[in-house]
Amino acid sequence: MKAKYRVVIIGGGVVGASIAYHLTKLGWTDVAIVERSVLTAGSSWHAAGGIHTLNADPNISALQAYTIDLLPEIEKESGINIGLHLTGGILMARDPDRWDSLRSTYRIMQSMGIDDSQLVTPDEIKAMCPLINTSDLLGGMTSEREGYVDPSGVVHAYARAAKNRGADIIEHNRVISLKQLPSLEWQVETEKGVILAEHVVNAGGLWAKQLGRMVGVELPVTPMEHHYLVTEAIPEIAELPKEMPTVVDLDGFSYMRQEQQGMLLGIYEINHKHWQMDGAPWDYGMELIQEDTDRISDELALAFHRYPVLENAGIRRWVNGAFTFSPDGNPLVGPIRGMRNYWVACGVMAGFLQGGGVGKSLAEWMVHGEAEADIFGMDIARYGKFAENREYIRQTTGQFYSRRFIMTYPNEQLPAGRQLKVPGAYEGMSAAGAVWGANWGLEMPMYFAPKDFAEKPSLRRSNAFDIIGAEARKVRDSAGLLDITGYSRYEVTGEGAEAWLDKIFASRLPKPGRARLAPMLGEDGRLKGDLTVMNWGDGSWWIMGSYYLREWHMRWFGDHMAEGVSLRDISDQVTGFGLSGPKSREILQKLTHQDVGALPLLGCTAMDVGLISARVARMSITGELGYEINCSALEHATLRRILLEAGAEFGMTEFGFASGNALRLEKSFGIWSREFTQGYTAGQTGLDRFIDWNKSGFIGEAAARAEKDGKLSKQVLVTLEVEARDADASGYEPIWQGDKRVGYVTSGGYGHTIGKSLAIAMIDRSCAEVGTVLSTHIVGEECRVTVIPTSPYDPEGKAMRG
C-alpha cells in the first residue's frame, strides 16, 4: 500500500473492480481498491449472476448490452475463468397486457440497436425449454445474449485485469474515516494507515450508506433481502440435449436458470423485507440471512406451477442475501454536488449485469469530464434532499422491489413516497378534480376529472382520453390555467452575473424586461439544458427549467461558478400559474391596472395581479397567447382563486400536464429527456438556431462551431403524423423505411385540436423530407407514419403572437 494514489476506490465488489479496470484502461493506473474484507465479500459472492439486456431505461439497456459483450474480453485479458454461460434467455407472458408490453419492448430493443431478440409462441418456448408448463402462456421474447456467470470469477477477473494495468488491490483494510483537506485531496484513514487521494469513489455496496455519512452525504439506498434456491440434480434436466436458457416468468415473479444438473430459482416476492437500513454491520461478510419460506410461499406456488419438475426436486441450498436498492432500482453514479472529487457508484442491485456499464461510464466521467452515454437514469443527481428521508427510502425501495416483475403502465401513478411536496393550491385543485402525478417529490396535476373518476391503467388510450381532449380544446378555444409549481427557478445576481450567464449559455442574453430560450452546452457540445433566461431589468436574472433537474443543474452551475455571482435555487419559494388561450390577455387585464397588451412576446415584468405583486412573463408551452404568472408559495392558492374568478365569464378551464403534452406536440415543441438530452447536440435537435454565433467564450463553443462548420449530423428531429388505432406512440418506438431502421420516436401522443395522432422522432436526414412515408410499431402493431411540417397547429405562430 502506497501513501498516495490518484484514485482510491472503496469496495472490492464487482462495481469497484470494474471501475478500477476501466480507469486503468483509460490510462489512470495510479489506482487502488481498498476492501474491508476480501474481494466479493458483501453482495457479490452470493449473487445469482444472471445477465440480460432488458431495462426500463433504454440507455441503461444499452450499457447492460455493453457489459455482456465485455465479459469475454475480461476473461481473456485476465486469464481467469468467469464461468460465462450464454444460454440465451426467455421472458414469458400470460397476461394480455404483459404480452402487449413484450411486443412493445421487442421493438424498443430494436430502436436501441439490440437486434438479437425475437418474439416466440408458447410452442416455441416449450421446444426451447421442455420443463416449462406453457399451457397458460401467450408468448415470450427471447434474447441470445443472456445467461449467467460465476460471480466470484467475474470480480477477480476485473481486479486482475486492473492489477495487470497497474492498480493495487488492498484487502483486509477497512476505511475508518474520510476527510477532505484544504488542498482538496482526500485523507483516507484506514486500519493500516492513512492514504492521500486526489479522487475517492464510494463503491461500498452494503456499506455505501456508512461511507456516505463519513462525508455528510445521506445516500438514498438501502439493503433488502432476496431469496433464491438451488435444487439437487433433476433427472429431466440431465436428459436435456443442451443447457436450458435462462427464464424470467414475469407474471410469476421468478427467474430460473440451470445450475449444474439442477435448477436455480429466484423470487421477487410481493411481501418484501428491508434489512439493515442504515447499512450492513462492519463485521458482516460471507454470511447469509435465514431463509423465510413462509414469506415467499405464494410466489413459490406459482413457480411450482410453471416448472412441474420442482414437485419432486430436493432443495440443495437456500440463499437469502442482501442487495442494495435505490428508490427506482437503478444505480446511483456520479459526483456529489459541492464536494470535489468524491464519486459514488452504489445501489447497483444488478451488479454483474450493470457493473461493466457503470465502470465504463464513471471512469469516462472522471477522466474525460463526461460519460460517452446519456446516463441520467443512473446519475445520483436525479434525486435531491427529499430522497434522503428514511421513510421515503423505505416506501420507494419496497415498492420497486415488490414491483420488480409487475408491469407499470405509462399512465399509472404509484403510491410510494407520495404527497411529500404539494403546491399551495393543492387542496383547491384536488376539490376541483385534479388527478395528480409525482415529479421529484412534488405533486403535479395531470388533468382534472369528475368526482369519483378513476383512470384505468392501460398501454392504449385510457378512459381519461376524452377528459384530456376536452381540456386541450378548451385552452385553444378560450383559456386554461396550469399550475407551474413544477418548474425550476434559479435567481442569479451580483456584479458578475451577466458575464457568467453569457459564458454558461450559448444564446444571446435577453435585454432588460425580456426573456429568451437558451441552450446550455457541455464542453463536448452536447446539451446540458433547454432553459429560459429572464432579465428582470433590476440587476436580477432568472433561469427557468424542469423541476426534476434541479440537483443536476445546480451541480453543473456550481462546477462552473465564477466570482461576483450569487446563485439561489428559489424553486420551492416561488411558484405560479400559466394562463393560456385566446382569452388570456382579457382575463389578466381584469386583474391589473397595468397595460397587459404592452407586454411583448417573451417580455417579462413585475405586475400587480389582484393583491399579488407578481413576476409575469409572456410565454406558454401550449402555443397559444399566454402568460406565466409567478408568485410566492404562500400566495399560490390566492392567485388560483382570483384567476379562476376573473376567467369564469370566459369559460376558462383548469388543465394539467397530460393536456399540456398534447398541446405542445401540436406545436412540435420539444422537452427535456425526450427531444433534448445530454446525448444529443444542438445541431441534432434544432436548438442550434438559438446559439449566438457572433459571441465567443461560451461553454461548448469549440464543439458547437465544429459541428456547424463540419458535416451535418446524421439524424434530425421531425414531426410525424401517425395512422394509429387505439394507442399512440410514447417513446423509443423504431421508425422503419421498409425493413431498414432509420430512427426512433422521442415522444408522442394525440393532438386533440387537429384530431391526429402525432409523434416527434429522431430520424436519418435522408428520410426527413416532408411527405416521406415510413412506419413504426406501437404496442407491437405496425402503423404508417408520414413526415409533416413542424407545428401542425398554427404553423405561422399567429396564436402566440396574439
Cell representation of residue 511: 435585454
Say whether both 491 and 360 belong to one domain. Answer: no
Output the pLDDT for position 115: 87
Residue 562, in any domain of the structure: yes
Q: Are 246 and 53 in contact (CB under 8 A)?
A: no
Output the pLDDT for position 610: 98
Residue 465, in any domain of the structure: no
Output the pLDDT for position 586: 98
Furthest CA-CA distance within the chain: 87
Say whether both 68 and 216 belong to one domain. Answer: yes
Of 763, 762, 683, 694, nearest to 521 (Cα)?
A: 683
Output the pLDDT for position 519: 98
Share of the chain above pLDDT 70, in %: 100
- Expressed in percent and rounded to 5, the helix, strand and coil fractions of the chain are 30, 30, 40
Write the pLDDT tens digit of every residue in 510-530. 999 999 999 999 999 999 999
Write the pLDDT tens digit of every residue in 603-654. 999 999 999 999 999 999 999 999 999 999 999 999 999 999 999 999 999 9
Task: Identify the CATH number of the domain in which residue 581 sits.
Answer: 3.30.1360.120
Among 662, 687, 704, residue at a domain's last position: 662
Say whether both 374 and 491 belong to one domain. Answer: no
pTM comes to: 0.96
- Higher-confidence residue of 705 and 711: namely 705
Is the dihedral angle over the CA atoms 624, 628, 629, 634 positive or is it negative? positive
Residue 400, in any domain of the structure: no
Q: Is 454 helix (H, G, I), strand (E, B) or coil?
A: coil
Among 330, 353, 378, residue at a domain's last position: 378
Say whether both 359 and 494 belong to one domain. Answer: no
For residues 799 and 793, what is the distance between their CA atoms, to the nearest angstrom?
A: 10
Cell representation of residue 745: 420516436
Domain hosting 643: range is 487-662
Task: Identify the CATH number of the domain in which residue 32 sits.
Answer: 3.50.50.60
Share of the chain above pLDDT 90, in %: 94
Residue 254, in any domain of the structure: no
Output the pLDDT for position 672: 97
Residue 233, in any domain of the structure: no
Write the pLDDT tens digit of every residue in 546-558. 999 999 999 999 9
Whether 711 shows a pLDDT value over 80: the answer reads: no
Whether 300 shows a pLDDT value over 80: the answer reads: yes
Say whether both 66 and 184 belong to one domain. Answer: yes
- Mean of per-residue pLDDT scores for the chain: 96
Whether 162 shows a pLDDT value over 90: the answer reads: yes
User: What total number of domains does the chain contain?
Assistant: 2
Residue 707, in any domain of the structure: no
Residue 260, in any domain of the structure: no
Say whether both 24 and 151 belong to one domain. Answer: yes
For residues 177 and 187, what is the distance between their CA atoms, to the nearest angstrom?
A: 8
pLDDT band at 52 (very low <50, low <70, confident <90, very high): confident
Whether 285 shows a pLDDT value over 90: the answer reads: no
Residue 644, in any domain of the structure: yes
Q: What is the mean pLDDT of residues 719-746?
A: 97
pLDDT band at 230 (very low <50, low <70, confident <90, very high): very high
pLDDT band at 94 (very low <50, low <70, confident <90, very high): very high
Write the pLDDT tens digit of every residue in 425-459. 999 999 999 999 999 999 999 999 999 999 999 99
Output the pLDDT for position 506: 98
Among 350, 378, 406, residue at a domain's last position: 378
